[in-house]
């Protein structure tokens, strides 16, 4: 793929793979390695994969894309921040902003990230981008491999206006 990784002991998965949020890629090499192995296992078994926040970033990295830290206030509520006091971002208060889909419709989502997929791997189609600056991919998919990923956290119940179920984002 474009990312070198070592095969660890078998990481047997037996169904769809959900890659969730958490610490930045590179800060926990053991977790990174496990997730690379799970991705390979899911692909080999032809299981669907869903990525949320870090999950989107690790999928992008696995397939040869790049992940970059945002500098300054780039768009809406994406902020560069000192995340050293909150390694897994669990204490961060979400910001809310609009993203636009391929169909031109906007939805409100939450944001708890300070990194993004700056170069999206070739196999992914970006399906949502930040509304005011289309350089921030907010969701992508690879239908051939049954992969769907979002940068926001649809599982977090923080406000009635940001709940947008994944089945509406990826109408498959």
Is there a domain that residue 9 lies in? no
CA-CA distance, 147 to 74, in Å (whole number)? 27
Q: What is the DSSP letter of 94?
A: P
Task: State the CATH number of the domain containing residue 86.
Answer: 3.40.50.880
Residue carrying structure tokens 């690790």: 58
Averaged pLDDT of the chain = 77
pLDDT tier, 72 (very low <50, low <70, confident <90, very high otherwise): low
For residue 11, being part of any structural domain is answered with: no
For 78, the token pair is 């994406």
Question: What total number of domains does the chain contain?
Answer: 1
- Rounded to whole angstroms, the Cα distance separating 94 from 121 reads 27
- Once rounded to an integer, what is the mean pLDDT over residues 88-97? 57
Comparing 14 with 43, the larger pLDDT belongs to: 43
Looking at the annotation, which residues are catalytic?
Answer: 53, 153, 155
Distance of CA 93 to the CA centre of its chain: 18
Q: Would the pLDDT of 35 be above 60?
A: yes
Q: What is the DSSP string of 79-119?
A: ----GGG-TTSTTPPPEEEEEEETTS-EEEEEE--SEEEEE
| 100: in domain | yes
- Residue ranges making up the domain that contains 54: 17-169
Helix/strand/coil for 88: coil
Q: Is residue 8 part of a domain?
A: no
Q: Distance between CA 155 and CA 165 in Å, rounded? A: 8
- Residue 108's pLDDT band, with cuts at 50, 70 and 90, is confident
7 pLDDT above the threshold of 70: no
Q: Which residues contact 158 (CB under 8 A, 6 or more apart)?
A: 94, 110
CB atoms within 10 A of CB 34: 13
């Amino acid at each position: 793929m474009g990312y070198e990784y070592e095969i660890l002991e078998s990481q047997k998965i037996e169904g769809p793979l959900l890659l969730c949020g958490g610490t930045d890629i590179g800060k926990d090499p053991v977790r990174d390695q496990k997730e690379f192995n799970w991705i390979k296992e899911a692909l080999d078994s032809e299981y669907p994969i869903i990525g949320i926040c870090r999950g989107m970033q690790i999928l992008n990295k696995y397939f040869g894309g790049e992940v970059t830290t945002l500098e300054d206030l780039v768009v809406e509520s994406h902020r560069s921040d000192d995340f050293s006091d909150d390694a897994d971002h669990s204490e961060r208060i979400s910001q809310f902003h609009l993203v636009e889909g391929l169909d031109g419709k906007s939805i409100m989502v939450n944001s708890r990230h300070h990194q993004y997929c700056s170069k999206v791997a070739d196999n992914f189609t970006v399906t949502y981008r930040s509304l005011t600056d289309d350089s921030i991919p907010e969701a992508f998919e690879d239908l051939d491999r049954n992969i769907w990923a979002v940068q926001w956290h649809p599982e977090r119940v923080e406000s009635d206006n940001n709940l947008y179920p994944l089945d509406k984002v990826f109408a498959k």
